Structure 1
Amino acid sequence: MAGLIKGALIGGVVGAAAALLLAPKSGRELRQDLKTTYNKSMDRTKQWVSDAGVKTQEVAQKVGRQATDLIGQTKSAVQTAKDGIQSAKDGMHDAMSDAQKPN
């Protein structure tokens, strides 16, 4: 995806530069057109980078929340397993105690 965007950006700049250089204009007009095109390209690039940064932060926060939820679920499952083992252990201990009592 990034390669596609990078290629499109480079292609657009090269195409715009070629169009400006091949157009019949004076040197002053050509320099002004180049400057304007450069500034527009820089503004679009800065906006894209800013948007990508915001999106990256959103994804990182979402992943963090999901990881926290998963850790909580795992801890709960482990505690349930521990409780079940302890209950079974206590039950076996009680059964063994009852079996050893004289009738």
Structure 2
Amino acid sequence: MANETVKGSGVTKGILIGGAIGAAAALLFAPKAGKELRSDIARKSSDATDYAKRQGTLLAEQAKSTAVVCGEKASAIGSKVQEIAIKAKDAALIHQDAIKETAATAVAETKEAVAEVKDHAHQVTSEANRHIDNIKNEAAENRNDAMKSTNSVTGSNFSN
């Protein structure tokens, strides 16, 4: 719309200048008396001045209405931007709460898993200790049996 106003302004200026030059040329080259020629020039100048004033007024009104429309559009855009900013902030807060909840859940589940691993490790350790004790006892029994066997073999050799 601004380009149309600028183009229209150039056309208007061209018409005014061309009209003034054409009128002046027509008056100067027409065979008229001096008084009549001056009267025609004054009238044509007055007409050109009136036309220029009307066009200036029209352009000023168009500029004012364009400024009002631009102001309204800018205000509407500003309102939309504020509205979007509020929505974005609200969405961020909602997501922030969801992230906090997810993190809290993850921490709790991790603590539970660690506790379960500890319990399982204690159970494995206890079972391993029990097996070690069994192995020690069995080794001691085997040693005692071996010693008895050795003693009995040694004792029977001497008695023979």
- TM-score strictly above 0.5: yes
Q: Does 1:60 align with 2:85?
A: no
Aligned-pair identity (%):
31
Q: What is the aligned partner in structure 2 of residue 20 from structure 1?
A: 27
Deviations, residues 46-97 of structure 1 (Å, cap 9, x unaligned): 0000000000000011011011101111111111111011011112222333
Distance in 2 separating the partners of 1:43 and 1:63: 30
In structure 1, runs of 5+ residues without a counterpart are: none
- Alpha-carbon deviation of 1:18? 1.0
What amino acid is the match of 1:50?
T
The answer for the alignment partner of 1:73 in structure 2 is 80
TM-score, scaled relative to structure 1: 0.90
Structure number with bigger Rg: 2
> In structure 2, what residue type is equivalent to 1:78?
A
Superposed structure 1 runs of 4+ greater than 4 Å apart: none
The residue matched to 2:32 in structure 1 has which SS? Answer: coil
Matched, 1:46 2:53: yes
Pairwise CA distance, 1:40: 0.5
SS in 2 for 1:24: coil
Deviation at 1:99, TM superposition (A): 4.0
Counterpart of 1:91 in 2: which secondary structure?
helix
Amino acid at match of 2:44: T
Whole-Å Cα distance in 2 between the matches of residues 98 and 17 of structure 1? 91
**Structure with greater proportional helix content:** 2
Count of aligned residue pairs for this structure pair: 103
Aligned match of 1:89: 96
Structure 2 unaligned spans of 5+: 1-6, 113-160
Q: Distance in 1 between matches of 2:100 and 2:90?
A: 15
TM-score, normalization: structure 2? Answer: 0.60
CA RMSD in angstroms comes to 1.5
Equivalent residues in 2 for 1:1-40, closer than 5 Å: 1=7, 2-40=9-47
